[in-house]
């Protein structure tokens, strides 16, 4: 086993992606969400590699050290699934276990649904399988108003500039500025206020996050300057386009064995109520292995509860291998 994380770049579909990897064995792809990078999986590399897996975490298209295409419509779920499928091939593998958190979860679920030949197991953290990604913006407006964060992100340049003005402060605020609420609430920006007004700079970081972590995220994002967050925000700007493009695949179940992990205080619980979550898992993951709910855990699942998430992943990987892992 390699005892250090290695960094390199791989070109897929004309886009240069930065990847971090460790270990040898069956391929496990770890897909981050917004606003994160490969670094959000820092706690999972060594244990999974020690168990006999090749662990690879890309900075996905538009994020951190990876290339950022200019066109907004270059960030559809079909592009993102295409990146994952091409990455599996570029790494010399025939199949992978694909793990995704936040926006990485829809990419993982969609890859498993559209390319079952390449995915031998799929894991979603925070976001359950959805027919075509997040609900159409019209439905989000009706449910949560014009201040709902996914709607707020639609205006080109607005959230981009707010977040890029001081990336380190933005990461402190988004990751640590709001303690998980006992009753999860959707992220809504009141009329007349800015995005970061809703997440104050914390007096102290939560126990799971250090200033070194903040500096690592900020350094990863420094590559793109004023457009540091634009690539990730462009994923949100394709929500309605995704629903149109993926309409032919609506209702398609995920054939691979699956695992779903969510924090009990994750804000996604306010967007996807328990009865809807149960319906989605029952409908789209007929081979669901486990549904893990982590108490006292917010949205940043694998960072907040690294030991519990790693244990769940190793248990699932062992299930795929016939009941044991090395």
- Residue for token pair 């168990």: 51
Q: Cβ neighbours of residue 74 under 8 Å, at least 6 residues apart?
A: 61, 234
Residue 124 tokens read as 């979603």
Check if 299 is active-site. yes
Name the region of 27 (left: φ>0; alpha: ψ -120 to 50; beta: rest).
Answer: beta
Percentages helix, strand, coil for the chain (3-state, rounded to 5) are 45, 15, 40
Half-sphere exposure in the Cβ direction for 176 (13 Å, CA): 19
**Angle separating helix axes 104-114 and 77-90, nearest 10 degrees:** 70
- Tokens representing 71 are 């066109």
> Could you give the C-alpha distances from 287 to 274, 294, 320, in angstroms and in order?
19, 21, 12
User: Among residues 59, 102, 220, 266, which one is catalytic?
Assistant: 102
Pick from 168, 165, 173, 169: which is nearest to 226 by CA?
165
Q: Please indicate whether residue 9 is annotated as part of the active site.
A: no
Query: Which is catalytic among the residues 32, 224, 299, 325?
Result: 299
Q: Report the interhelical angle of 211-221 vs 167-176 (nearest 10°).
A: 130
Beta bridge partners of residue 119, listed in sequence order: 96
Alpha carbon distance 317, 174 (integer Å) = 31
> In whole angstroms, what is the distance from residue 160 CA to residue 97 CA?
32
For tokens 């380190």, name the residue: 168
Neighbours of 171 (CB within 10 A): 22
Active-site annotation, residues:
102, 299
């Amino acid at each position: 086993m390699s005892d250090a994380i290695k960094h390199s770049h791989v070109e897929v579909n004309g886009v240069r992606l930065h990847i971090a990897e460790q270990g040898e064995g069956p391929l496990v792809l770890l897909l981050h969400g917004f606003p994160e990078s490969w670094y959000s999986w820092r706690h999972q590399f060594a244990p999974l590699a020690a168990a006999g897996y090749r662990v690879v975490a890309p900075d996905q298209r538009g994020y951190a050290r990876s290339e950022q295409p200019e066109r907004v419509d270059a960030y559809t779920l079909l592009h993102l699934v295409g990146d994952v499928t091409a990455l599996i091939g570029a790494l010399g593998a025939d199949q992978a276990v694909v793990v995704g958190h936040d926006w990485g979860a829809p990419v993982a679920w969609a890859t498993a649904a559209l390319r079952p030949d390449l995915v031998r197991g799929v894991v979603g953290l925070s976001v359950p399988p959805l027919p075509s990604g997040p609900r159409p913006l019209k439905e989000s407006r009706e449910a949560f108003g014009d201040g709902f964060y996914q709607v707020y992100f639609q205006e080109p340049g607005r959230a981009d500039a707010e977040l890029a003005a001081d990336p380190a402060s933005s990461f402190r605020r988004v990751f640590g500025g709001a303690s998980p609420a006992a009753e999860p609430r959707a992220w809504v920006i009141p009329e007349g206020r800015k995005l970061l007004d809703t997440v104050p700079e914390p007096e102290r970081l939560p126990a799971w996050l250090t200033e070194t972590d903040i500096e690592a995220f900020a350094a990863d994002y420094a590559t793109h300057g004023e457009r540091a967050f634009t690539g990730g925000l462009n994923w949100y700007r394709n929500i309605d386009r995704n629903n149109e493009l993926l309409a032919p695949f609506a209702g398609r179940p995920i054939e691979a064995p699956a695992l779903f992990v969510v924090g009990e205080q994750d804000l996604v619980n306010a967007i996807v109520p328990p009865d809807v979550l149960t319906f989605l898992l029952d409908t789209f993951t007929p081979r669901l292995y486990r549904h893990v709910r982590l108490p006292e855990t917010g949205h940043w699942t694998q960072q907040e509860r690294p030991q519990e998430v790693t244990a769940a992943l190793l248990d699932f990987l062992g299930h795929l291998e016939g009941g044991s892992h090395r």
